[in-house]
């Protein structure tokens, strides 16, 4: 809960294994599912990647670095206005921003944007 790195279930399992060598991956999945159900953590689904888990329960979005894969929380204040067809009601919205984190952008500062995706 203290870390803000958005781990996958497998990463949580590897961390838990250090303290509880007999824990199973199924137990970790069951615990994470329970924590999500109780509203203690949020699931974060990015494209086709494994589900990640976020302990930050405040309204926020996520930034995913396209080079190193790091995921960071981003405060994205929203005024509640979308251009939706009449009668549509939004109950939940997720926004993911993609680009380069500070570390990766400084390493690739000499590259152009088109060079990054080659």
Contacts of 88 (CB under 8 A, 6+ apart): none
Residue 31 lies in a domain: yes
Give CA–CA dist 69/79, Å, rounded: 29
Give the model confidence (pLDDT) of 66-83 as tens digits: 999 899 999 877 666 778
Give the model confidence (pLDDT) of 1-30 as tens digits: 677 789 999 999 999 999 999 999 999 999
pTM over 0.75: no
Residue 17 lies in a domain: yes
Domain extent, residue 99, equals: 9-77+89-107
| CATH number, domain with residue 35 | 3.30.1490.190
């Amino acid at each position: 809960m203290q870390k803000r790195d958005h781990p996958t279930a497998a990463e949580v399992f590897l961390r838990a294994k250090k303290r509880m060598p007999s824990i199973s991956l199924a137990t970790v999945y069951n615990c994470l599912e329970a924590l999500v159900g109780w509203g203690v953590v949020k699931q974060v689904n990015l494209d086709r990647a494994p589900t990640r888990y976020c302990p930050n329960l405040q309204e926020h979005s996520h930034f995913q670095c396209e080079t190193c894969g790091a995921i960071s929380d981003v405060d994205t204040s929203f005024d509640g206005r979308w251009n939706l067809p009449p009668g549509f009601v939004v109950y939940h919205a997720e926004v993911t921003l993609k680009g380069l984190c500070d570390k990766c952008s400084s390493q690739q500062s000499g590259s152009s944007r088109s060079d990054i995706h080659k």
